[in-house]
Structure 1
């Protein structure tokens, strides 16, 4: 097709409930948007980004919109921001009348729900680079087959809906241009301010954890068996060298691939070339049940300073029966012993508020972390993402309300695990982790007695959990404000503390 002289505005709502209108820089890099932009710009499409760092009211949003020249507007939509995007889409359509579409995880999982929103003309399902390019080309040409673009669902002028099949995903990631890092105000991203960059060498995941959307994203494609893909070594190095040439201050790389050690051949080969050609300290996500001590040793030699691992639940019944994560406690303990042996900082992700969980089962997750002894621990509250297997299990059990309001902290409504108990378990997860670690250092009976006392406080009926939740929320607000101030106004101090915390030697 001929090069289109069309302009696309991408809108990226990128904030949490705690972000305020005082936030004028920062935010997160989006690999998906950068990749779409690279493909479109290569074909001559004009692309700009409205990166929203806090929730705007109507006047604020429309004032921002006036600063852009565009023919089409595309919204990146995550599940927890959908209610807000619906408002933005309505305002944008009312003010501009421009063709408006949505893409991302939420439209891929529940396209009909997104397409039904006022102002939305179409939704893109799955990877968007080439479907969006075709949309721009046909829009510019006023092509009569405009409504027949694969991977798009459209509202028609007559009020109907056209649902086109999803095109096969691109199996060779090397065919994509290097992402358009310049789409973002890259130097002012949150990660950039601390000398870090988020990068991805792959797409997809081999595994089917029930709480994760990957198991359902895979199923939208006709060539789903090729869902988990990596760039070649050469293309991966080109990606990284392009980024570092543009932003030479980057000192840390954060690989955001779903599972960095999915394929042994790729993993060991890439670690070797990375060590020789890049050599920067890096972090990544690992899957414990497919790793060995050799995995950890090789990563350490290549510069890995932090490994992220999903523990999720310390209750084996929940982990195996409901999460479909078949790793055992013993496998995890062995893996963490290797992290400690090679001096790599470890971080665990944990979930509380899972279907059929209660305080006693949540406590098992804390105690498993005590045995693993990670350097960092992140507790998250379960969210039933649409179309995931675990969300369906929770819905059939009657735990999911008809509407989850924006800002809801505990989405599931479970009689055996009420909201204030889930918040207590999440907020005081680290506190009890430290207490149990302290108990382990005490001699014999004294340690066991202190541990039993902690059990009683965590699950006991007399513990004032509602009051403790309110106390935590107030203190946390002050702490986050202080951390943001230090990273913004004293980035040198922040980076020194980061190196010290992660045991990284100065360059």
Structure 2
């Protein structure tokens, strides 16, 4: 009888229970692991004492390996806590980190004594191969697993990257491993029971600041229409979902590839939200836009990034500022809300570029008042975190802090838990941003979001949003952003929703 390895997959806490969405990466991993073994999932966003839940699960049943999904920012601290607890109470259990953090900061992850292996990029093929090899983990066998980084007798070894793939597990994801999957359906502005889903994976563009580009190396893969229909029908008919939040890294790719998918979505008519690019939306034909409207697209998150054409070239965005203005008008005509994100306070020309961005945002709001605006601080990836194909391709100015010293990124997971680096990972702050610039950004955003409350806010009463909008009108009209004390005071009572913090 063939032995079937047993794997415990853990999603450390990163959000509130009310904001919990399907841990899609672990569901895909679980489906892959179950072809040759068994797997179990603990989701720290729902099981709040994730350390205790993990230790209890290990005590209840034999487990061959513990896989921990790790994003940067606020998920690192709970990931460390889980890993340390497993190492202390079950020291023989191999601990495997996967996800964005160990992909972008592989050497940093493997400095930790509680991390034995790191999976870079996709894990659906690498992870099952590693778990199977752990029965007899010789260096020869480990060295053949694509996308694996590990601690050998000679130090840390990085195996070659694995080929990007979009394998269909042939089944609906194992949502039942989450207990009652209906508890992950959330009330949003899309509907009363919004489900998270990821149809396509990767992005064929190579933006230098983007973790997706670093993880997937400019590759993307779309699902077959039959697979999308199978998945959506399960979410709609079995779980009762009435709307979908797509976590695809770039939903609209080439029009000819999107049409079969849009036809399925138009048939099911589930209101939806997605990530998109301005150039892709502008290229869609009238007939495809007809499908988009029938499918009930409500909002598209578009990375505008900057009003500077030069900066867009430098970060290899591939779009132009005029396309951002055009897409705002296009979305208005088709009844789609554009949610446009901008990166302010770049390391060079910090104040000039930030003020230019503020004026550009005002122009967007003039063209389409319904445009939602998300403002982040520009926090580029260190050179070592970029995809291997992109490292050293373009000479860039070294990142300097306020004292003119080179920015030194953390060397251990523990250093990444410091608030300044959590803020960096969350695009909320950077070492070159002055206190006055930090206040300027905060004040502008306060005035902007009070003047134009987000359509995603279902909690704040309408009268409160109208009152705040009226109160902010004079500041917005006369560009009096500084020290909006009355709006900050009102916000303490109303607490408007902030999309970049809470998402949908």
TM-aligned CA deviation for residue 483 of structure 1: 10
Q: Could you tell me which runs of 5 or more consecutive residues in structure 2 were left unpaired when the two chains were aligned.
A: 402-406, 411-415, 454-473
Question: Which residue number in structure 2 is paired with residue 443 of structure 1?
Answer: none
User: In the comparison of the two structures, how many residue pairs are matched?
Assistant: 442
Q: Does 1:407 align with 2:419?
A: yes
Change (3 A) 1:477 1:390: farther
Which of 203, 222, 228 matches 2:201? 203
CA distance in 1, matches of 2:47, 2:210: 26
TM-aligned CA deviation for residue 120 of structure 1: 1.0
TM-aligned CA deviation for residue 61 of structure 1: 2.2
Output the TM-score relative to the length of structure 2: 0.76
State the SS of the aligned residue for 2:34.
helix
CA contact (8 A) 1:313 1:351 kept: yes
CA distance in 2, matches of 1:354, 1:125: 28
Change (3 A) 1:265 1:482: closer
Question: Which residue number in structure 2 is paired with residue 428 of structure 1?
Answer: 444
State the SS of the aligned residue for 2:7.
strand
CA contact (8 A) 1:62 1:95 kept: no
Question: Which residue number in structure 1 is paired with residue 461 of structure 2?
Answer: none
Change (3 A) 1:381 1:126: same
Q: Does 1:164 align with 2:159?
A: yes
Per-residue CA shift, 1:13-69, capped at 9, x if unaligned?
2425xx5xxx5x65222322110111112333232324246986xxx7246522443
Question: Which residue number in structure 2 is paired with residue 182 of structure 1?
Answer: 176
- Once the two structures are overlaid, the 10-residue window that deviates more, 266-275 or 146-155, is 146-155
Change (3 A) 1:92 1:395: farther
CA distance in 2, matches of 1:208, 1:272: 29
CA contact (8 A) 1:329 1:368 kept: no
State the SS of the aligned residue for 1:154.
strand
CA contact (8 A) 2:344 2:353 kept: no
TM-aligned CA deviation for residue 258 of structure 1: 1.8
CA contact (8 A) 1:9 1:47 kept: yes
CA distance in 1, matches of 2:33, 2:102: 21
State the SS of the aligned residue for 2:125.
helix
The aligned runs of 1:27-426 (5 Å cut-off) are: 27-52=20-45, 61-62=51-52, 64-68=54-58, 69=61, 70-80=63-73, 81-97=75-91, 98-140=93-135, 146-148=141-143, 149-156=145-152, 158=153, 160-170=155-165, 172-174=166-168, 177-185=171-179, 186-189=181-184, 191=186, 194-219=192-217, 227-248=219-240, 250-276=241-267, 278-292=268-282, 294=286, 295-321=288-314, 323-372=315-364, 373=368, 374-386=370-382, 387-388=385-386, 396-399=398-401, 400-403=407-410, 405-408=417-420, 409=423, 410-414=428-432, 417-426=433-442
CA contact (8 A) 2:5 2:36 kept: no
Per-residue CA shift, 1:241-294, capped at 9, x if unaligned?
22333312x111112212222111111222123212x22111222211133363
TM-aligned CA deviation for residue 183 of structure 1: 3.1
Instruction: Detail structure 1 runs of 4+ shifted over 6 Å in the superposition.
Output: 141-144, 389-395, 433-437, 449-452, 481-484
State the SS of the aligned residue for 1:42.
coil
CA distance in 1, matches of 2:20, 2:475: 43
The aligned runs of 1:1-40 (5 Å cut-off) are: 3-16=2-15, 26-40=19-33
RMSD: 3.7
Per-residue CA shift, 1:201-228, capped at 9, x if unaligned?
1111111112102332234xxxx7xx21
Change (3 A) 1:299 1:452: closer
TM-aligned CA deviation for residue 168 of structure 1: 1.9
Q: Which has the higher helix share?
A: 1
CA distance in 1, matches of 2:77, 2:114: 13
TM-aligned CA deviation for residue 425 of structure 1: 1.0
CA contact (8 A) 1:366 1:429 kept: no
Change (3 A) 1:3 1:84: same
Question: Which residue number in structure 1 is paired with residue 464 of structure 2?
Answer: none
CA distance in 2, matches of 1:84, 1:254: 26
TM-aligned CA deviation for residue 114 of structure 1: 0.8
CA distance in 2, matches of 1:394, 1:88: 38
CA distance in 2, matches of 1:424, 1:296: 39
Q: Could you tell me which runs of 5 or more consecutive residues in structure 1 were left unpaired when the two chains were aligned.
A: 438-448, 488-497, 499-507
CA contact (8 A) 1:436 1:451 kept: no
State the SS of the aligned residue for 1:85.
helix
CA contact (8 A) 1:122 1:154 kept: yes
Output the TM-score relative to the length of structure 1: 0.76
CA distance in 2, matches of 1:255, 1:103: 22
CA contact (8 A) 2:21 2:195 kept: no
CA distance in 2, matches of 1:67, 1:483: 36
- Once the two structures are overlaid, the 10-residue window that deviates more, 82-91 or 129-138, is 82-91
